[in-house]
């Protein structure tokens, strides 16, 4: 570092204008310390892994819809699918890797890596993160993690096959799954990714606490920043728990320790405790930033202040706190003292209260709004609708008497996809389209954006809603061939229907990919504030230069002052001085969209 921050003169890093000479290609695009470039790097990396995770899902759906039929495109090696027919061991790897890639390498870096990096400094009026080099380090730790995970497909025995939760003792030894090296690479990869996330979280929390612009008090922060702040705390405290478990499982596999090996006195349930003590906060790591994005986009689309801003913040905090005391609901089926089960059931159902507060506040924001149906707004409203369905099916699993018959069926697959795809991913689509100008300076095409939205929304519901039904009728998850069971054979038309829906859903994502890539060059020039929004990032040029702001923004008001009576326009930038809000002032900052 060129200089060290000191106690006496608050020599904060980094400054705009510090390293703004022309940087070499490598320093500018590859080993960049600019938070926006790192955000873009995370974006491209995680979109590639999202595509990979989706491809794995279509291969799985081929097997479930048409078991034993050769794949139409026979490019997989003999060890995975000889003659195009998927082997059971490879199917296990598919299930495991689809979950792993989607959760750890797609949704989590998209929400935390992309939006955390892009939005935190811009929305708090900072020039960059508190530790730009640490930020670069955390991206370049995530890349090898991804490659190690990818490489595990090509080692002897194939990729890990014990499910994304890697339950012991299935995962402690290759004798059960036939996978030795692949499972170990899975552990090493996640350990690296966890380290990357922790360094990122340290950076986010420090930045939000110390680098806010003057006047930007805690309750003037946009809800996205609030959500990312609380998410970063969850990452900071949850990831090390997983790291401990991963190390124990790795030494069990390689050095002969016996933490999770019951035959030598170990406790397989200990893995489940460690995993879910991390894993349940992780569930909220994957949804809280999405809730922040949606709050912002819905207020913008409805041209109204967020209904109940303070209760939104407290609801996020309450969800985060509760997420630490509910992990046991993942283990209702593992054998549990009924009183303990009752406790976990109660705490889990209590999470519905802050979640419902958020949902009603979104509806309150929409109520009597002057609604603009932009693509990001549509995705955000879809989030609310689908999150309600996913949240309601969550109450089924939270209740022990209902959970016991439906656990580990397709009902739970439907639930997770309603909150993770219908929830997080729709919010990600919303966020990418909404903040696209701050990434590339242009707008994504609205027509193609809406076609993608409608196709995705319909195909998504056709694909995942029927899963509730086949789950209730007893179809287990992680099942290789449903037609082998007489009681599942009547459900096979549903499996075919779901598979076709998934293929359509997958195909529609290429519209998004094309729109995303082509708009970089062909998109309409955005101007600084194309959505006529309030928060600080919209006072910077699109895309903002290295250092973001020419002069430090000073904040006079909250982020959601839409449609203020007496104001000249239906939005007032947070940086507008108090007397300017009624004056004819916004000639440079507002452009039409």
Partner 1 sequence: MTSHAAAIPMDQRRPEPGVEFYTMKLGMWIFLLSEIMFFTSLIGAYVILRFAHPEQWAYPGEVLNVPLTAINTFVLICSSVTMVKAFAALEHDDQKGLQLWLVATILLGSTFVGVQVYEYIHLAADGFIPVAANYSAEGGPLYGSTFYLMTGFHGLHVTIGVFALIGVLIRSMGGHFNSKKVGGVEIMGLYWHFVDLVWIVLFTIVYLV
323-352 residues near partner 1, rule: CB under 8 A: none
Please give the Cα distance from 298 to 365 (Å, whole number).
Answer: 7
Closer to partner 1 by Cβ: residue 156 or 550: 550
Binders of partner 1 among residues 564 to 593 (CB under 8 A) are 573, 575-577, 580, 585, 588-589
298's tokens: 């819905």
Please give the Cα distance from 509 to 449 (Å, whole number).
Answer: 11
Beta-ladder partners of 476: 409
Query: Residue 28 CB, nearest distance to partner 1 (Å)?
Result: 20
Binding footprint of partner 1, residue count (CB under 8 A)? 74
Binders of partner 1 among residues 109 to 138 (CB under 8 A) are 127, 130-131, 134
Please give the Cα distance from 242 to 278 (Å, whole number).
Answer: 6
Residue 376: closest CA among 497, 265, 526 = 526
Closer to partner 1 by Cβ: residue 10 or 521: 10
Closer to partner 1 by Cβ: residue 43 or 168: 168
Binders of partner 1 among residues 527 to 566 (CB under 8 A) are 528, 539-541, 547, 549-554
DSSP 389-401: HHHHHHHHHHSHH
Out of 48, 143, 270, 350, name the contact with partner 1 by CB under 8 A: 270
According to the binding rule CB under 8 A, does residue 165 interact with partner 1?
no
Binders of partner 1 among residues 387 to 446 (CB under 8 A) are none
CA distances from 141 to 137, 194, 342 (A): 6, 9, 41
According to the binding rule CB under 8 A, does residue 214 interact with partner 1?
yes
Closer to partner 1 by Cβ: residue 3 or 28: 3
Closer to partner 1 by Cβ: residue 106 or 230: 230
Closer to partner 1 by Cβ: residue 68 or 577: 577
Query: Residue 51 CB, nearest distance to partner 1 (Å)?
Result: 31
Binders of partner 1 among residues 494 to 533 (CB under 8 A) are 528
CA distances from 448 to 331, 375, 451, 471, 514 (A): 43, 9, 5, 35, 9
Query: Residue 247 CB, nearest distance to partner 1 (Å)?
Result: 7
Please give the Cα distance from 263 to 256 (Å, whole number).
Answer: 13
- Does residue 200 contact residue 112 with C-beta atoms inside 8 Å? yes
Binders of partner 1 among residues 227 to 266 (CB under 8 A) are 236-241, 243-245, 247-248, 251, 255-259, 261, 264-266
Query: Residue 18 CB, nearest distance to partner 1 (Å)?
Result: 7
Please give the Cα distance from 151 to 154 (Å, whole number).
Answer: 6
Ramachandran category for residue 267: left, alpha or beta (phi over 0 → left; psi -120 to 50 → alpha): beta
- Does residue 54 contact residue 506 with C-beta atoms inside 8 Å? yes
Supply the DSSP symbol for 17. Answer: T
Residue 24: closest CA among 35, 13, 32 = 32
Out of 69, 210, 370, 489, name the contact with partner 1 by CB under 8 A: 210
Closer to partner 1 by Cβ: residue 18 or 408: 18
Site map 13..42 versus partner 1, x via CB under 8 A = x-xxxx------------------------
- Does residue 452 contact residue 379 with C-beta atoms inside 8 Å? no
Closer to partner 1 by Cβ: residue 19 or 524: 19
Query: Residue 454 CB, nearest distance to partner 1 (Å)?
Result: 36
């Amino acid at each position: 570092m060129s200089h060290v921050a000191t106690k006496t003169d608050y020599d904060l890093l980094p400054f705009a204008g510090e390293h703004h000479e022309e940087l070499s290609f490598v320093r500018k695009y590859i080993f960049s310390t600019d938070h926006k470039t790192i955000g873009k790097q995370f974006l491209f990396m995680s979109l590639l892994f999202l595509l990979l995770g989706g491809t794995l899902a279509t291969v799985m759906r081929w097997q479930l819809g048409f078991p034993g039929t050769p794949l139409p495109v026979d490019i997989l090696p003999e060890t995975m699918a000889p003659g195009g027919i998927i082997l059971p061991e490879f199917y296990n790897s598919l299930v495991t890797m689809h979950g792993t890639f989607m959760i750890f390498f797609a949704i989590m870096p998209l929400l935390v890596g992309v939006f955390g990096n892009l939005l935190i400094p811009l929305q708090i009026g900072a020039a960059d993160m508190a530790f730009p080099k640490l930020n670069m380090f955390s991206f370049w730790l995530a890349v090898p993690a991804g490659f190690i995970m990818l490489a595990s497909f090509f080692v002897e025995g194939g990729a890990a096959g014990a499910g994304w939760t890697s339950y012991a003792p299935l995962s402690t030894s290759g004798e059960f799954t036939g996978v030795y090296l692949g499972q170990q690479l899975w552990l090493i990869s996640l350990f690296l990714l966890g380290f990357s996330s922790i360094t990122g979280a340290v950076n986010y929390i420090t930045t939000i606490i110390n680098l806010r612009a003057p006047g930007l008090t805690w309750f003037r922060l946009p809800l996205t920043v609030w959500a990312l702040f609380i998410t970063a705390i969850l990452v900071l405290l949850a990831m090390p728990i997983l790291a401990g478990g991963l190390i124990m499982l790795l030494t069990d596999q390689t050095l002969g320790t016996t933490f999770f090996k019951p035959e030598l006195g170990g406790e397989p349930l200990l893995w489940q405790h460690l995993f879910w003590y991390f894993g349940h906060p992780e569930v909220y790591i994957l949804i809280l930033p999405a809730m922040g994005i949606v709050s912002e986009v819905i207020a913008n689309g409805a041209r109204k202040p967020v209904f109940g801003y303070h209760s939104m913040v407290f609801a996020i905090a309450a969800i985060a706190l509760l997420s630490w005391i509910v992990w046991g609901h993942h283990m209702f089926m593992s054998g549990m003292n009924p009183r303990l089960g009752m406790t976990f059931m109660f705490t889990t159902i209590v999470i519905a209260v802050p979640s419902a507060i958020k949902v009603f506040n979104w509806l309150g924001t929409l109520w009597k709004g002057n609604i603009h149906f932009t693509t990001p707004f549509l995705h955000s409203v879809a989030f609310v609708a689908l999150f309600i369905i996913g949240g309601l099916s969550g109450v089924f699993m939270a209740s022990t008497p209902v959970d016991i018959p439906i656990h580990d069926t397709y009902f739970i697959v439907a639930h997770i996809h309603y909150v993770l795809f219908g929830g997080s991913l729709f919010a990600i689509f919303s966020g990418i389209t909404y903040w696209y100008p701050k990434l590339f300076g242009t707008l994504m095409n609205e027509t193609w954006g809406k076609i993608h939205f409608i196709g995705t929304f319909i195909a998504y519901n056709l694909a995942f809603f029927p899963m509730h039904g086949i789950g209730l009728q007893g179809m287990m998850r992680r099942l290789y061939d449903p037609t082998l069971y007489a009681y599942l054979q009547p459900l096979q038309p549903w499996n075919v229907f779901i598979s076709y829906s998934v293929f359509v859903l997958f195909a529609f994502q290429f519209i998004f990919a094309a729109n995303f890539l082509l708009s970089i060059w062909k998109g309409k020039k955005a101007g600084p504030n194309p959505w006529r929004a309030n928060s600080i990032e919209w006072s910077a040029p699109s895309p903002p230069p290295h250092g973001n702001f020419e002069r430090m923004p000073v904040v006079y008001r909250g982020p959601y002052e839409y449609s203020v009576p007496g104001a000249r326009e239906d939005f007032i930038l947070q940086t507008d001085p108090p007397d300017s809000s009624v004056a004819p002032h916004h000639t440079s900052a507002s452009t039409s969209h």
